[in-house]
Structure 1
């Protein structure tokens, strides 16, 4: 799909959805509608369960679990999914590959959930010490932009490091075995590896300020063209937003449900994770565009994108009223 075709399709889709909102009030959720929602680390499913929102869903939902954006993109291309919970980079990589997957919901945390984590025996005090190191590089995931921006903050280019392309699922073992010097990890892997084998997060305070932790729901265009799917998606996003608010207000209960009971993290380690985790913030499409443009610019300047996209054309505002009503 070339740029002209992409932008024309995006414009038509946005106009169609905007028109659809005028009649959406007359739509009700069909209980027989099937909605396939890609999950990661089973976060979405557990958030709905813990908050009590899951039993209230008015449609048939499935939450297949994936390890990273690239695998989700392939499932989207195969029409096996309707919407997906992804990090901040997958929608950009999908666009770069010519696949239109409009962003329909944005959820961010002020402090990133990603952590630059070094192998046992290696302590990184300053981001500048990443120069010359062997770093994990997961093309098409949010980890990619986080790593690039970390190098930017340190004045290091991608040519100054050795990049090791790995799957998301392989990152913890790569750190554990010393196959890489530093990987971009999330909890509970950071806490587990720190305690079990002596790995350590990068100590530079700037590391916590690199980028906020932004996640999106993006959608398959065919799903957005189906009024029954649109009604189910709106219902789902409302449930997710209410679940996020519940988790923010009930941090201890959420931590026990997700980290301690599901992921088998000790209560002490769960407390550490919660202390480092900032609340989920719901954003409208207009509010989310500036950060998304920054991510596009980071990837473009690093040579990971052949074209600098306009972030505005990656979003649809169809479901913004759901976000506004929930916060």
Structure 2
């Protein structure tokens, strides 16, 4: 099997998928309309192209060799996070994105029809949270109940903002019991706001936790666990993209290998740390290892019932906190894609390699 790669685009050989041809559109980059109740096509026309915003998994697909199993042209977009992904969706410049579970809710509320096509989390999510609550020096917060009357960093429409609303709910506090300070959850914004005394508490994750404590613990900075699941991660696409039969077939192919790529990263620790954390993110190997261990093992559910039920709980808390209507979480998912991740893992094994 041969393939060619350029800086942004990869074209690969044909995967071992069930053959359901779309001969009528084999030379047309825009496929026929696929209705929401139609079966997913499993053969991808040769002219099909996807623009994918999934930077971390781009590296995993490439390093694992799984990219060779994709039969369509893929253009990798260096886009991540809910706001940038949705901006690209609205500009019709992105076909699929990788985000937490909040952006699809926000997309629905802002009239951007999207559907989730793959879902994952972390095994033992309370032992391996994405975020801790960073506590500013002198804030005196040692438990969630201590947030009453405090200033808390808040980013509406993003996972960190939703987490704060869930934390308040768990602590039995209303928004009126605290002061929510709207700040973008970018780079070190929250850590700097904590250190500068702009807020008393903020959700911080990744190396921010380590660097925040390294820099400011001597001044009294601390972190406390929030004790909630904050691990949902999904792939989602605009409905208009999924209505294109050719693109839907390509997305099914991509989603099918998503879990295998994730598992490859866990089975190849040193290579993954060097490829992603060191070379791509510019971190030290030590920080990369810290993050690798903090992530724990991925959870790749074969059935989405529990995932959707948890998503519904989040929607209801967010709706109450933002004044939006409660929506049915099931409406955010395209369950035609539900069995694909497990099928990919079964074919390629838990090592995630072809």
Query: Same fold by TM (over 0.5)?
Result: yes
Aligned to 2:73: 60
Deviation of the 1:202 alpha carbon: 2.6
CA distance change for structure 1 residues 80 and 164 in 2, over 3 Å: closer, same or farther? same
TM-score, structure 2 length as denominator? Answer: 0.77
Q: Counterparts of 1:107-118 in structure 2 under 5 Å?
A: 107-109=120-122, 110=125, 111-118=128-135
Aligned to 1:249: 267
SS in 2 for 1:19: coil
Aligned to 1:268: 286
Deviation of the 1:176 alpha carbon: 4.1
Q: Counterparts of 1:25-174 in structure 2 under 5 Å?
A: 25=42, 27-30=43-46, 32-39=47-54, 42-66=55-79, 68-109=81-122, 110=125, 111-120=128-137, 122=139, 124-169=141-186, 170-174=189-193
Separation (CA, whole Å) in 1 of partners of 2:142 and 2:168: 14
CA distance change for structure 1 residues 47 and 131 in 2, over 3 Å: closer, same or farther? farther
Greater Cα shift, 143-152 or 255-264 = 255-264
Q: How many aligned positions are there?
A: 303
CA distance change for structure 1 residues 63 and 135 in 2, over 3 Å: closer, same or farther? farther
SS in 2 for 1:218: strand
Could you tell me which runs of 5 or more consecutive residues in structure 2 were left unpaired when the two chains were aligned: 1-33, 346-354
Q: Counterparts of 1:202-281 in structure 2 under 5 Å?
A: 202-204=223-225, 207=226, 209-281=227-299
TM-score, structure 1 length as denominator? Answer: 0.83
User: Normalized per residue, which structure has more helix?
Assistant: 1
Does the aligned pair in 2 maintain the 1:53–1:239 contact within 8 Å?
Answer: yes
Q: Mark the structure with the bigger radius of gyration.
A: 2
Separation (CA, whole Å) in 1 of partners of 2:222 and 2:277: 19
Could you tell me which runs of 5 or more consecutive residues in structure 1 were left unpaired when the two chains were aligned: 1-14
SS in 1 for 2:335: coil
Deviation of the 1:120 alpha carbon: 4.7
Deviation of the 1:93 alpha carbon: 1.1
SS in 1 for 2:119: strand
SS in 1 for 2:300: strand
Could you say what the CA RMSD is over the residues aligned between the two structures, in angstroms?
A: 2.4
Name the structure, 1 or 2, with higher relative contact order (CA <8 Å, separation 6+): 1
Deviation of the 1:270 alpha carbon: 3.1
CA distance change for structure 1 residues 85 and 274 in 2, over 3 Å: closer, same or farther? same
Separation (CA, whole Å) in 2 of partners of 1:310 and 1:69: 20
Aligned to 2:13: none
Greater Cα shift, 65-74 or 89-98 = 65-74
